[in-house]
Structures are given as C-alpha cells and as structure tokens.
Amino acid sequence: MNNQTGSLNNGNIIEISQLNKWYGDFHALKNINLNVKEGEIIVVCGPSGSGKSTLIRCINFLEKFQEGQILVGGTELTDDAQKIRKIRSEVSMVFQHFNLFPHLTIIDNLTLAPIWVHNETKQEAREKALSLLDRVGIKDQAEKYPNQLSGGQQQRVAIARSLCTSPKIMLFDEPTSALDPEMISEVLDVMVELANEGITMICVTHEMGFAKKVAQRIIFMDEGQVVEENDPENFFNNAESDRLKLFLSQILTH
C-alpha cells in the first residue's frame, strides 16, 4: 500500500467498504462494498431514491457518512480539511445542473481552480483552459457568460472545467438529465471520448445506450444497496434479480 495519491498495489483506485449512511433516521446507503480499478468505467443506475447520487457524492465528501470506509488513491476519506482538499483535486465532479459560476466568463470558470487551488500562472491556466474548451468544442465561446449558452454547451463547459485539474477520477451525477433531448448526444459524445482516454469514470445515468457503449461494469442500486452488478452484456441480457428485471423492463420499453 502506498501513501501517495495513486493506485494501490492491487490496482484499485477506489475502495469502499461497509459504507452506511443515514439522513436522520432514514437509512440511505446500506452496507455498500465497491472496488474500482484504475481506468475502469462504471455506470450506476437504478430507480430514483435508490441512493446512487448519494453514493458518488460520498466519494468526494459532498455527503458525509456515518459508518464504513472509503479509500481514494490510498488516502482514507475522513473529515479532515487537508485530506478532503487533496482528494478533491484528484476527483472531479460533473453535476446534473452544471453549476457553472454565472458571474464569471466561461474561461474564468475554468481557470479558477488552477489559479487559486494549484497556484498556476494566469498564462498557463488560460492556455490549458483554451485547449480543453477546444476539445469539447466550445473554444469560440470562451469570453461569454454561462447564461448566454445553451444547456448542452454549459454541460460541456462543466466537463471541461472538471478536466482542468487533471483529475484521475471523474464522477458524473446524471449529467444529461437536465438537458433537452437534442443536446444529450453532444454531451455523451464528449463523455465517450473521455472514456476512451483511460480516465476512471463513475457515471450515474439513465442513458443505457451510453452504458452499452463504454461501460466495463454496470451497477444496479435499489433502496440504498447494490443489488446487482455485471458487465454490460450480461447485465442487460442475463439479469438475475427480480428487481433488476423489473427496472430493465420499465426503462428499456421507452
């Protein structure tokens, strides 16, 4: 086991064991055990209220948990400000509602973390930001403000923003659920490209086409626990639990 941020000797970059979380009296996450290898692409799905968003938000400590242990890159997640900051610079998140900073231009949205958290020079940060914007196809909007862009464009900016800190792990919390249908594919395309570059991705989504295309493992959650997980082929064609069969029948007839 090594103490730097990096993968453990067994190739796991995230290790979650016996994770339990309560909201007041409500048992939101029940005994979650999950190991994620470096470079793995995981899709988490399930009915609403199943705890999938809660789970990934625990990984970057946006949600606190009461029992269990989470190891990210060898560092244990505890309520320690320094550790949390370190982990958050390695783990990026893309939100359902983009959460771009409306009072800053697009390029300032991207350069904020590099300048203030990683002490980069303004020049370096801008260059990197512009190349990332180019990668997601928004380079010409760099000086505009978020409210002047469409939903799909904003989400692509959000993805670019989370790439600015060169994260090892990217968490996606229903990234296309708030988008109009015609903009979903432009965002999914960017995510597919990222998946092909070797970054570890955990994605909460309903987009099963995306899952079939890039996921190496799909996890089905219901009522706060992991019910079934499998590779895409077996997940869709050889579902074993009744709950998953019900969920698939509901989601795939659309």
Partner 1 sequence: MPINEIQTTRIPPKSQIGTLVWLKENLFSTWTNSALTAISLYLLYICLPPLLNWLLISANFSFGTVNIFGFSIQFSEEMATNSNCGRSAACWPFIYEKFDMFIYGFYPREEIWRPNTVFAITALLFISVKLIKNLKHKNKILLSFIVLYPVISYFLLLGGLGILPVVETYKLGGLMLTLIIASFGIIISFPLGILLALGRQSELSTVRFFSVIYIEFIRAVPLITILFMASNVLPLFFDAGISMDKLVRALIAITLFQAAYMAEVVRGGLQAIPKGQYEAADAIGLSYFQKNILIVLPQALKISIPNIVGSSISLFKDTTLVLIIGLMDFLAVVTGAAADKEWLGRHLEGYVFVAMVLWVMLYTMSRYSKKLELRFNTENTN
Partner 2 sequence: MKSFSKFSNLKNLSFKELIYNNEIRALLIQVLTVVIIFSLFYVMIQNLNENIEARGIVSGFTFLEGRSGFDILPFLGSYIVKFSPNSTNLEVFYVAIINTLVCAGVGIILSTILGVLIGIARLSTNYLISRLANAYIELFRNIPILLQILFWYNIFLNALPIPKKSISLLDVMFINNRGFYLPNPIPQDGFLWVSIAFVIGVASAIYLKRHFKRKQDETGQQTNTIGFTLGLIIVFPVVVFLLLGSPLQFDYAVLGKFNLKGGLAIVPEFVALTLALSVYTATYIAEAIRSGIEAVDKGQKEAAAAIGLTKMQALKLIILPQALRVAIPPTINQYLNLTKNSSLAAAIGYPELMSAFGGTVLNQVGQAIEILTMVMLVYLVISLLISVLLNYVNKKMAIQGR
| Contact between 131 and 111 (Cβ < 8 Å) | no
Cβ proximity to partner 1: between 126 and 217 the closer is 217
- Find the binder of partner 1 among 3, 10, 24, 103 (CB under 8 A): 24
Per CB under 8 A, 67 contacts partner 1? yes
Cβ proximity to partner 2: between 23 and 101 the closer is 101
Cβ proximity to partner 1: between 27 and 97 the closer is 27
* Long-range CB contacts (within 8 A, 24+) of 215-220: 215/41, 215/42, 215/43, 216/40, 216/41, 216/42, 217/40, 217/41, 217/42, 217/43, 218/42, 218/43, 218/44, 218/45, 219/34, 219/42, 219/43, 219/44, 219/45, 220/45, 220/46, 220/244, 220/247
Candidate segments 25-33, 86-94, 96-104, 201-209, binder of partner 1 by CB under 8 A: 25-33
Q: Is 70 helix (H, G, I), strand (E, B) or coil?
A: strand
- Find the binder of partner 1 among 5, 6, 8, 20 (CB under 8 A): 20
Per CB under 8 A, 66 contacts partner 1? yes
Cβ proximity to partner 1: between 27 and 135 the closer is 27
Pick one of partner 1, partner 2, none as the site partner of residue 157 (Cβ within 5 to 8 A by kind). Answer: none
| Contact between 232 and 211 (Cβ < 8 Å) | yes
- Find the binder of partner 1 among 114, 146, 175, 224 (CB under 8 A): 224
Per CB under 8 A, 240 contacts partner 1? yes
CB of 254 to partner 1, least distance (A): 24
How far apart (Å, rounded) are the C-alpha atoms in residues 216 and 40? 7
- Find the binder of partner 1 among 5, 89, 105, 225 (CB under 8 A): 225
Listed residue (107, 158, 119, 109) closest to 136, CA to CA? 158
Strand partners, 14: 36, 72
- Find the binder of partner 1 among 6, 30, 99, 135 (CB under 8 A): 30
Q: In the structure encoding, which two tokens stand for residue 168, read together?
A: 């090892």
For binding to partner 1 (CB under 8 A), which residues are involved? Answer: 20, 22, 24-25, 27, 30-31, 66-67, 224-230, 234-235, 240-241
